[in-house]
Structure 1
C-alpha cells in the first residue's frame, strides 16, 4: 500500500498509535470467541477487567507489579466472584492479535514526514512488545516496532493508559506539543486523556475505518 498526499496538514507533527486492536486485530475478538466456546455471557472478560480498573489483576499486570502466576490466580478469583470461573492463563493466551497489513503500510508511509510513537498497555508475557506467542510472530512485530521513533510499554515503565503521564511522556520524548498530535486507540477510555491534552483522536473500530479517518486528518489517500 502506498499513500498519496492530497493536502498538507501543517499542524500535525506526530502520529501516536496504540498497538493491540489498532495495528493488530483486537483481542476483544478473541475474548468473544472464547466466551462463545465456553458458554460465558457476552463481554464477560471485559466485565472482569472493568471492576476496580486501577487495582485489579489486569491493571497490576500491565504495570508489571505482579507475575503471570499471580495474575492467573487473581483473575481466576475475580472472574469466579462475578459468577463464572475463567483462568487468567486462558486470557493471556488470547492477547496477541494478527497484524493488519493495511494499517502497517500506512504507518510505514508516514515515516520521515511525522514523528511516530506507540503507547501500548501490555503485560510481561510472550515475546516482545506485542506479547507474541511465537518467535516468528515476534520478529514480525519487532519489524513494525522498529518503524516508530519511540515506543512506550506500560509493563516496562510501570504506568498504564489512561494515566495522563504516559501521553505526556511520549510528547516530551518526541519533542512535540500535544496539539500537534493525532492519537489512535481502540478504547474510548484511553482516548479521553489524549483529547483533554489537545490531541486529535481516532477511536479505531476496524482497519478500513482507521485508514479512512487517518487519511482525512492527514489529507492522504491510501492505495
Structure 2
C-alpha cells in the first residue's frame, strides 16, 4: 500500500506555495514562517501543530499569526491577508501536482491500494480535496487533525497500518520531509523521500515494479 503525503507531494512544492502566498498578500515566506513558529512556541508545540492537531481553530490561529506579524514587523501591511480564513487564500489558484495525480491513478489501475497520510487542518479539507479529485478515489485517509497524531509521531503510522488492515512492512510512505520518512521506517515501513517528480517515480517504481508504467505517464513527458 502506498501512502502519499499531501503538502509538497500531491500539492506543488512548499516553496512554490509560500511564493504564491507572498504574491497574494505581500507577506514573505520568512515572515510567515516566523509567525507560525511564534504561535506554536506559545503553545509549546512544533510549527503548525496547533492547527494540524485541531488544538485551536483556523480563526484563532490566524489571529495569532496577525499578532506575531505585527509584533515582529511593526508597520507590516496585512490589508491583503485573510489570516482568519488562511486556507482559502493559501490554496486559491493552486492546482495539484499533475505527475503525482497520474501516479496515483496508475497505482490504483494496477491494483495497488493508495491512501493519503497527511498533517492537515480541519478547515482546509474542502480546498485540498478539490485539488486531488483528478487522481480519483483514494482508498484511505489518515488526517492528523482528525486522529490526534501528526507525523512524525510513530502513533500515526501504527494507526494507518491498522486502519488499512495491512502489515507495516507492506506500507510505503511518499513524503517530502526526511524526518517523516525516517519515522515511518522506524515503524517497519518503507519510504520514498520525495525531492522531485522523476526521482520519486524512480524510487517508487523500484518498490512497486511499475517503473515502465511510470515512465509513460502523460504529465511526466510534459514536465
Q: TM-score range by the shorter chain?
A: 0.7 to 0.9
- What is the DSSP-based 3-state SS (H/G/I as helix, E as strand, rest coil) of the residue aligned with 2:61? helix
What is the CA–CA distance in structure 2 between the aligned matches of 1:39 and 1:124, rounded to whole Å? 23
What is the CA–CA distance in structure 2 between the aligned matches of 1:20 and 1:29, rounded to whole Å? 11
Provide Cα deviations, 1:102-157, integer angstroms capped at 9, x if missing partner.
212221222253232211111122452716xxxxxx2x5345362x2211112222
Aligned to 1:121: 119
Task: Establish whether residue 107 from structure 1 lines up as the match of residue 104 from structure 2.
Answer: yes
Alignment of 1:157-168 (within 5 A): 157-168=147-158
Aligned to 1:77: 67
Higher fraction of strand: 1
Q: Tell me by how many angstroms 1:78 deviates.
A: 3.5
2:152 touches 2:183 (CA, 8 Å); kept in 1? yes
What is the CA–CA distance in structure 1 between the aligned matches of 2:8 and 2:132, rounded to whole Å? 14
Aligned to 2:128: 130
Q: Tell me by how many angstroms 1:57 deviates.
A: 7.2
**Normalising to structure 1: TM-score of the pair?**
0.74
Aligned to 1:182: 172
Task: Establish whether residue 38 from structure 1 lines up as the match of residue 39 from structure 2.
Answer: no
**Normalising to structure 2: TM-score of the pair?**
0.74
Alignment of 1:14-29 (within 5 A): 14-29=1-16
Higher fraction of helix: 2
Task: Establish whether residue 155 from structure 1 lines up as the match of residue 145 from structure 2.
Answer: yes
1:191 touches 1:203 (CA, 8 Å); kept in 2? yes
Of 81, 90, 94, the residue aligned with 2:90 is 94
What is the CA–CA distance in structure 1 between the aligned matches of 2:125 and 2:139, rounded to whole Å? 20
- What is the DSSP-based 3-state SS (H/G/I as helix, E as strand, rest coil) of the residue aligned with 2:48? helix
Name stretches of at least 5 consecutive residues in structure 1 with no aligned partner: 1-13, 132-137
Distance 1:47 1:172, change over 3 A: same
**How many aligned positions are there?**
201
RMSD: 3.0
Provide Cα deviations, 1:131-187, integer angstroms capped at 9, x if missing partner.
6xxxxxx2x5345362x2211112222222222111111111122222222211112
Distance 1:199 1:125, change over 3 A: same
> Higher relative contact order at CA 8 Å, sep ≥6: structure 1 or structure 2?
1
What is the CA–CA distance in structure 2 between the aligned matches of 1:189 and 1:48, rounded to whole Å? 22
Runs of 4+ in 1 over 6 A off after TM superposition: none
